[in-house]
Amino acid sequence: MAENHYENPPLTISKIGIIGAGVSGIAAAKQLYHHNPVVFEASDSIGGVWRTCAYNSTKLQSAPKDYEFSDFPWPNRDDPSFPTHVEIVDYLESYAKHFDVLKFVKFNSKVMELRFVGQQGTTELGGNGGAFGSPLPGHPVWQIAVQTNGSQNLQWYAFEFVVVCIGKYGDIPKIPSFPHNKGPEMFQGEVLHSIDYCKLDKDAASQLLKGKKVAVIGYKKSAIDLAVECAEANQGPEGQPCTMVVRTLHWTVPHYSVWGLPFFLFYSTRASQFLHEKPNQSFLRTMLCYLLSPLRRGVSKFIESYLLWKLPLRKYGLKPDHPFEEDYASCQMAIMPENFFTEADKGNIVFKRSSNWWFWKEGIEFDDNTKMKADVVILATGYDGKKKLKTILPDPFRSLIEYHPSGIMPLYRGTIHPLIPNIAFVGYIESVANLHTSELRSMWLARYVDEKFKLPSAENMLEQIYKEMEVSRRITRFYKRHCISTFSINHGDDICEETGWNSWRKRSWFAEAFSPYGSQDYRLKN
């Protein structure tokens, strides 16, 4: 955490500060436009991880119409192809320019520290008003220290309300721990994290991979894309195979169609989500979920049967032991690049299953006593989003990030921490369409800030959050990712009801039951 340069620093005072200008940050800025928010962005452009953590081959995992703002459709929204990361950044920039959001953004402004200057007692449970008073109390509650253009001096700002939109990905890599004398320092080759690889241009990335024995650690989307880029750089007789070191397998899909049926029919309609448990459901609904559980498991098996037929998962030992629905419920379903298994068939991508591994001087050693030589090891092991938050939050709030025993950050409506006053977190609970949920929560947040409704007590908010967490715990072993995919429509219903909107957004009963929900369903009429 940054050292305070001033005991009583000079302040620039405003109503609302927003940290981060990625998808969530610009969505929040647009919804809070009438308050003239100040948006701090550490880089020189908007876009967040789409700008800073994308590979040359990175694409969206859905069609444009499934990843768009409610009031700003893609110009080619009916194109079924997946946009590249460059096209996504262009779309986000067009959105920000169209709604004149860029005027709020201070680029190259890295937030180093938050200081709470409100009343400490507001974080205690109990009381008639719950944890919070007015979201805009009329005086500063938070101070923010900002480092501009790498300067050693800090500029201080003061706000009545702060919105944190720095997300869980990027910035701070999650690095595996190793036994003594078995870490990267023992390896004679090059070790880097996927975040370091993202910073390379196309030529530098190709130079790093070409003709090298490369090991990619991981089997999620970033690792899969890395393996494909490695294989493409190693075509021809001089090429070397890329080895994916896989600890936990996850289901991958080639496209959004299963035995000729559109994928949304299985999980993204109100009728399909009726098969899944949701928070606050009635006893009758609970019994119905139990009675329909064979059908729910049958849907998962139906999808698995297609994936095992379509993809050579058994051939390469890549069939997960857990049901497909557990990956969907934890937002870990990845789209497989078209040429992934083509490259595997050519021997350009090979797989090594291992629960534990460590370095030796010439490569990697595994827990089955085998060794693999390597020139380059790339850790596609994810990011430490909690640590990123803890670097800027002060005590005692830093410890409240993991208030729940599961280690999940408790957020009411995916936005408000019941024990941290006058602050919101947008972009921290996942769904299958994170742009959509970030915009919807930003709409909700703007109504809350404008005091169109009041929050429940802290106890009631925590109770609601724990119900969501327990639902996730029961339906997937990967519940710590805190994903709402199987009850996302219910989540939208709750937000609508709290803000006074009609929760049923379709034009007919049939569409309400069998068509998918997306951003366009929540477009507000002027």
Assess contact for 123 and 456: CB atoms under 8 A: no
Is the model's pLDDT at 121 over the cut of 80? no
* Count of Cβ atoms closer than 10 Å to residue 368 Cβ: 11
The H or E element containing residue 456 is: none
What was the pLDDT predicted at 301? 98
Q: Considering just the CA atoms, what is the radius of gyration of the chain in Å?
A: 24
CA distance 163 to 14: 13
CA distance 269 to 518: 10
Portion of the chain with pLDDT greater than 90, in percent: 81
Assess contact for 61 and 221: CB atoms under 8 A: yes
- Of the ranges 51-65, 131-145, 311-325, which is most confident? 311-325
* Count of Cβ atoms closer than 10 Å to residue 173 Cβ: 17
The CATH number given to whatever domain includes residue 151 is: 3.50.50.60
Q: Per the structure block, which two tokens stand in for 151?
A: 């300067």
* 464 domain residue, yes or no: yes
Residue 230: HSE in the Cβ half-sphere, 13 Å Cα cutoff: 29
* 22 domain residue, yes or no: yes
Q: CA triplet 306, 310, 314: central angle to 5 degrees?
A: 95
The amino acid at residue 435 is: L
Assess contact for 58 and 200: CB atoms under 8 A: no
Q: What is the mean pLDDT of residues 48-62?
A: 89
DSSP string, 157-182: EEEEEEEE---SSSSSB------TT-
Is the model's pLDDT at 126 over the cut of 60? no
Lowest mean pLDDT among 131-135, 384-388, 458-462: 131-135
Q: CA triplet 87, 92, 97: central angle to 5 degrees?
A: 125
Is the model's pLDDT at 4 over the cut of 60? no
Local structure of residue 523 (DSSP, 8 states): P
What was the pLDDT predicted at 149? 86
Is the model's pLDDT at 387 over the cut of 80? yes
Q: Per the structure block, which two tokens stand in for 415?
A: 């936005």
How many domains does the chain divide into? Answer: 1
Q: Which residues are annotated as a binding site?
A: 24, 41-42
Query: Per-residue pLDDT tens for 22-45?
Result: 999 999 999 999 999 999 999 999
Partners of 72 in beta bridges: 69
Query: Per-residue pLDDT tens for 200-222?
Result: 999 999 999 999 999 999 999 99
Q: Per the structure block, which two tokens stand in for 333?
A: 């379903």
**Given strand 357-360, what is the order of strands in its sheet?**
357-360, 363-366, 371-373
* 236 domain residue, yes or no: no
Q: Which residues are annotated as a binding site for FAD?
A: 24, 41-42
Assess contact for 43 and 190: CB atoms under 8 A: no
What was the pLDDT predicted at 122? 45
What was the pLDDT predicted at 514? 95
Query: Per-residue pLDDT tens for 277-286?
Result: 999 899 999 9
The H or E element containing residue 304 is: helix 293-310
**CA dist 166 to 107, 376, 402, Å?**
14, 30, 17
CA distance 20 to 164: 7
What was the pLDDT predicted at 132? 65
Angle between helices 23-31 and 85-98 (to 10 degrees): 10
The H or E element containing residue 215 is: strand 214-217
* 294 domain residue, yes or no: no
The amino acid at residue 183 is: G
Lowest mean pLDDT among 111-125, 304-318, 327-341: 111-125
* 465 domain residue, yes or no: yes
Residue whose token pair is 């003709």:
211
Is the model's pLDDT at 264 over the cut of 90? yes
Query: Per-residue pLDDT tens for 349-380?
Result: 999 999 999 999 999 999 999 999 999 999 99
What domain range includes position 75?
A: 12-170+384-486
Assess contact for 427 and 434: CB atoms under 8 A: yes
CA distance 96 to 119: 35
What was the pLDDT predicted at 10? 67
What was the pLDDT predicted at 3? 43
Sign of the CA dihedral running 254, 259, 260, 265: negative
Average pLDDT of the chain? 92
* 62 domain residue, yes or no: yes
DSSP β-ladder status, 142-148 and 109-116: antiparallel
Assess contact for 498 and 490: CB atoms under 8 A: no
Sign of the CA dihedral running 12, 16, 17, 22: negative
Reported pTM = 0.93
For residue 320, what pLDDT band results from cuts at 50, 70 and 90? very high
Is the model's pLDDT at 8 over the cut of 80? no
Assess contact for 420 and 9: CB atoms under 8 A: no
* 498 domain residue, yes or no: no
* 274 domain residue, yes or no: no
What was the pLDDT predicted at 261? 96
Q: What is the mean pLDDT of residues 106-135?
A: 72
DSSP string, 399-428: HHTT-STT-PPP-BTTTB-TTSTTEEE-S-
Partners of 371 in beta bridges: 365
CA distance 355 to 365: 12
Is the model's pLDDT at 150 over the cut of 80? no
CA distance 254 to 303: 12
Q: What is the mean pLDDT of residues 123-128?
A: 43
Cβ contacts of residue 374 below 8 Å, gap of 6+?
187, 189, 213, 214, 215, 243, 362, 363, 364
Residue 347, classified by CB atoms within 10 Å of its CB into exposed (0-12), middle (13-18) or buried (19+), is exposed
Residue whose token pair is 């009343």:
119
What was the pLDDT predicted at 2? 42
